[in-house]
Structure 1
Amino acid sequence: MVHEELFARLNEAGYKNWLKAGYCLLKVRDGLCGYADTEMLNFHRSVIRNNRNLQREQQCRSSCRPRGTQFQPACSICTEWQREILRHHTNPFGMINWGNCRPWLWPTEPWEVAKAFMPRGLADKNKAEQCDAAALLNLLNFCDHFSFINQSLVIEVIRCRNHLMHSCEMLVSDQWMSHFQKSLQQLLLQLRHVPEVVAAGQQIEEMLSVDLSVHVPGVEHVDGPQMDGAELDGVEIESISHWETELLKESLKDLLYTDELDGRLIPADLKKVQSLHRFLRSHKDLEEQFRTELQSVQVLEEELQSSINMEQ
């Protein structure tokens, strides 16, 4: 059975909580996408309207290109846009991922401006729906266009999200889930004027109340792993498998980043990468599904170990 190992993983309460919390973040992303696109369009127009230098509709003619957190514009138009981004950034003296952006598009593409307020690794993302919850939550936190939102609530959900994605064993407790649910409820309440956010909130509440007990439609009770096509308390197993894949990919992406100069993978936290590596290897279905990623991680670990041995 294709999903036999997934059913086994769902017997672990902590992992089931991890998946449900991850699903909630996927719904947060879905709820925020349209809102973020609309608001960044409004923000972009506002910046231009209030800056005479930007009203001239000039374009970058110097091929200004940032690298990581470093950006020294070579033209006046990119310099002006950088100044505006810093003026509206809630932490302008902190680390800003200029490498996310294509500055020559700042005059015409609101989302290129939005990415200056987000975590690294978003250079190829052209709209909100391509981003994860972390990116959109950081936008709410670091762009003062959203200052009407209680920022402590945004920060707490970001903190919960980071704990979830960096959990070495992919396990979270019932107590943690209770706190996470409360944090989400408080944040989403701030955006109750957005229909998509309200709908996402309803889906989140439904998921958090789901038992995910295993059963096959038409059969009252069946012990042990179930056939493919089974539902877990009304949730199709294919859907659970899909969001498990999305979450594990996000965890890998979060713990690894690519050096912009030579394209090498670099671990943000090697021990956590190794833990995730072991977890994927310990489940045959996940090992097969993430074969390419696991090969890259193994090469990285061997390179780092070799480097350590040479230094000793």
Structure 2
Amino acid sequence: MQKNILVIYYSQTGQLEDIVKNVAKPFENNEQYKVTYYNIKLKKDFPFPWPSDFFFNTFPESYLQIPSEIYPPSDEVLNTKFDLILFGYQVWYLTPSIPVISFLKSGFAENILKDTPIVTISGTRNMWMLSQEKLKVYLKRMNAKLVGNIALVDRHDNYTSVLTILKWLTTGKKEASGMLPAAGVSDEEINGAGKYGQIIKTYLDKGDFANLQPDLVKNGAVEIRPFLVRMEKVGNKIFTIWSKLIINKKEKRPLLIKFFKVYLMTAIWVVSPIVLVFHLLLTPILWFKRKKQREYLQGINLK
């Protein structure tokens, strides 16, 4: 019997679309599978490239997971029982992006995701770990079956990737220029993402996903950098304060957004190096704790 595969995604730059389509390639042009693509579409979409002020102005709604209205999925997506869903998502401000949250909070998501094996796929700068934890909560509430996770990232150092991603988001230029490398996930990793699809296909054919995630991890699908986990935890605490302040002080929003922008740049370039020093100094003491943390974040379970 033919198996139905659904690929869900939202992509502004095209990077995530390329990733999920490469992961889905092993299922294409094969009469045993039917692949359906669902590109989440907002009724009021976000611009790309981003005007700088517009980008920072999306922060509070992004972090607080405030949805926007989406167009309904097609009848085919709504009325088909899928055997597997490849769920591609972006991360905005340490949280699944507004389009993804809008889908998850719509009346459509639960009917599509419920009781269905799901492999989450992200293409991010480098901080995705706690965003994945937030996504796990949604999937659990909907009784979806998270069976795998693929997290492709920019492999450059944290500070270089900040410069390249800001250039890409505000100018639309991803390619290398001057002393800066190309932004985002490397073309090599994007083009090679089909290997993960082949692994997923093997487990789908067996009808047993029990060892899928360890197999994906073994093949490079997930990299955990303990320092970035620490930065995410700190960032979530600070973002909670800033987002609520901006939302609750509507009359002062433009001014507060400007202050937040200054704070964020200061945190990246001044506070982050200090946190890194303490992180390195504490490595011998916290080695085992970080090892357990790494193993958990590489997995698919929810604490």
TM-score (norm. length: structure 1): 0.25
The structure with the largest alpha-carbon Rg is: 1
Choose between structure 1 and 2: higher helix proportion.
Answer: 1
Higher share in strand: 2
